[in-house]
Amino acid sequence: MLVSEAVLQRQSIRSFSNQAVSNKLIRELLELASRSPSGGNLQPWKIFVINGPSMKEFLSFQEQWNKPEKPAYDIYPPKLKEPYRTSRFELGEQMYQLLGIPRDDKNARIEQVMKNFQFFGAPCALFCFVDKQMGAPQWSDLGMFLQTFMLLAKEAGLDTCAQEAWSMKQDSVSKYVKAEDSDTLFCGMAIGYRDETAIINSLKSERRPLNEWAKFL
Residue 44, Cβ density class (10 Å: 0-12 exposed, 13-18 middle, ≥19 buried): buried
Average per-residue pLDDT for the chain: 96
Indicate the domain borders of the chain.
3-72+118-204
- Confidence band (pLDDT; 50, 70, 90) for 52? very high
pTM here?
0.93
| Whether the Cβ atoms of residue 188 and residue 87 lie closer than 8 Å to each other | no
End-to-end Cα, the chain, rounded Å: 33
Query: Nearest CA to 125 among 78, 204, 41, 58?
Result: 58
Looking at residue 16, the DSSP 8-state letter turns out to be B
pLDDT score for 211 = 95
Looking at residue 81, the DSSP 8-state letter turns out to be P
Geometric angle at alpha carbon 191, from 186 and 193, rounded to 5°: 160
Longest dimension (CA), the chain: 56
User: CA 180 to CA 69: how far, in whole Å?
Assistant: 17
- Confidence band (pLDDT; 50, 70, 90) for 201? very high
pLDDT tens per residue, range 10-43: 999 999 999 999 999 999 999 999 999 999 999 9
Does 3.30.420.40 match the CATH number of domain 3-72+118-204?
no
